[in-house]
Amino acid sequence: MEPTPEGALSGTPYPPLIRTLLWQRGVHSVSDAADFLFESNPPEHDALLLPELEAALFRIKSGIEAGERFAVFGDFDADGLTATAILTESLTELGANVFAHIPNRFTDGYGLSEGAVDMLHKQGARVIITADCGTGSVREVERARELGMDVIVLDHHLAPDELPGTVATINPKREDCRYPDTELASVGLAFKLCEALHHLLGRSFDPSRYLDLVALGTVADMAPLRGENRWLVSRGLAALRGTARPGLLALMEVSGLMPGSADAEAIGYVLGPRLNAAGRISNGRLALDLLLCREKAAATRLAEELNALNQERQRRTAAAMDLAGLLLADELEAPLLFVGHPDISSGIVGLVAGRLAEQHGRPAIVYETGETLSRGSARSIEGFDITAALRSEGHRFVQFGGHRQAAGFTAETGRLPDIKEALLALAADQLAGVDHSPTIRIDAELPVRLLGGEEIRWLSKLAPFGQTNPEPTFLSRGVRVAESKVMGADGAHLRLKLKDGPVVWPGIAFGFGELSPGPGSVLDVVYSLKAERGTEGALELQVKDFAPAGGPSG
């Protein structure tokens, strides 16, 4: 018989609601529960268990001692940028001669290229450290060795069979990885490497100086918030709330985010997109400069620039969504959405794919159609490994790589029809019988009138919420609308006051403006708890769905 939450987690001091939520997150034993709530030893592991980390440490140490020049070559997304920032700052502090390079998505493409290797060599690099790329760069690393350079790869993308000839390829996704947690993002790996390097050199290491960056990169990269990632992000959010980095303070200021209210959601929706906008629209270097900036005026200028790029990113994404909708009009029932156009910029194909996958509940592949080569991105749904799908057609791609849920590729434009046909057949096979209709996951029934300080305190212990640790979502029946106002420029949203028994809660319902329920109506409400925007400490209900009370349940 399946043990019940109450049974398996009995003997714990947690209220029944918390036991249920833990159970639904796969926490099925008393000791796992203590781990999840950070009540036992923190889920930190010995960095030396990471593949070839030790070789990397000694190569960096000898390079510093010999005065050799280091190049950090980072990816242009938030994970790559934050990893690059930690490596650059930390190595500089240890006395290394180091410079950073972020490739341009539009002229250089993703990852290490032979052109980039030559350029780093010309700039005097003797050791290249990659951040968030490089695992598949066999040819490029070979080129670096021909030029007399050593390469250290720091990456977490799925590892191909043939690894590059590096000094060290630090990637927890390697088959031979003995590190107990395989989900660290590249910024987490950079943090562990720098911490270990400080210890090796007998220098003290202040984690709080770098953990703000670890939280940013890990959450923005959508790494699972479990195990060591969740521990790092939890501490990292505290560091972010108290950050001294002028760049992050300026970015929060232009975004209207109070440092004290920075949480994982703020990274996902506010800070992450602004850092990523640089690489999507212009050049990722801008965002790296912001992270490393030490001076307030320059930080403000860079933050404003990123904010403007983010607005341009939003405009392009909305236009591309409209275009993709037109192009896919007859194919929305296909098991996999596959769409491309010259007007869909390669900087935003991942965002468009992500929205299509979410809206339609099926994997989506979106590319910018180029004259000879096309660049694209894929986003998937649970139960369909998109990188494995690309690999099954690997011979048809110039380049591809990624994770289970997200991938990127380059292909010859002429081969795309065949690729589409093959991937559609594969998805039809693997997703046969899958229900694609959108659903809202409800954790438990929790009447609004029972929300008190005790419940709220316990719920906050389950944070940070995000990938694989979704924010708890509840159902409350028979809630009375005390007040209802449309809000937003086009009246798209609702601001509510909801009354349950003697209790009144403020609430917000995004996208429900057209359904404005009259005062006095009685609703069944699906909600989660949110910090009120622009305040510190106050909570409101985020209403995710509602229906007249007493309707069909389930």
Binding stretches for Mn ion (CB under 5 A): 79, 132, 186, 221
Residue 275's contacts (CB-CB under 8 Å, 6 or more residues apart) are 78, 81, 82, 216, 220, 251, 287, 290, 291, 306
In angstroms, the CA 197 to CA 191 distance is: 10
- Residue 221 beta carbon to Mn ion: minimum distance, rounded to whole angstroms: 4
- On whether the CB atoms of residues 237 and 264 are closer than 8 A, the answer is yes
Cβ distance to Mn ion smaller for residue 79 or 524 = 79
- Residue 532 beta carbon to Mn ion: minimum distance, rounded to whole angstroms: 32
- Residue 97 tokens read as 């001669």
In angstroms, the CA 396 to CA 375 distance is: 13
| DSSP string computed for 89-134 | HHHHHTT-EEEEE---TTTT-SS--HHHHHHHHHTT-SEEEEES--
Cβ distance to Mn ion smaller for residue 195 or 221 = 221
Cβ distance to Mn ion smaller for residue 186 or 346 = 186
Question: Helix, strand or coil for residue 503?
Answer: strand
- Residue 425 beta carbon to Mn ion: minimum distance, rounded to whole angstroms: 30
- Residue 111 beta carbon to Mn ion: minimum distance, rounded to whole angstroms: 12
- Residue 79 beta carbon to Mn ion: minimum distance, rounded to whole angstroms: 3
Q: Which residue is nearest to Mn ion (CB)?
A: 79
- Residue 128 tokens read as 């290249």
Cβ distance to Mn ion smaller for residue 221 or 289 = 221
- Residue 348 beta carbon to Mn ion: minimum distance, rounded to whole angstroms: 18
At 138, which helix (H) or strand (E)? Answer: helix 138-146
- Residue 345 beta carbon to Mn ion: minimum distance, rounded to whole angstroms: 21
Cβ distance to Mn ion smaller for residue 250 or 271 = 271
Cβ distance to Mn ion smaller for residue 35 or 385 = 385
Cβ distance to Mn ion smaller for residue 79 or 305 = 79
- Cα four-point dihedral sign 510, 515, 520, 524: negative
Q: What angle do CA 98, 111, 164 make, to 5 degrees?
A: 85
- Cα four-point dihedral sign 190, 192, 194, 197: negative
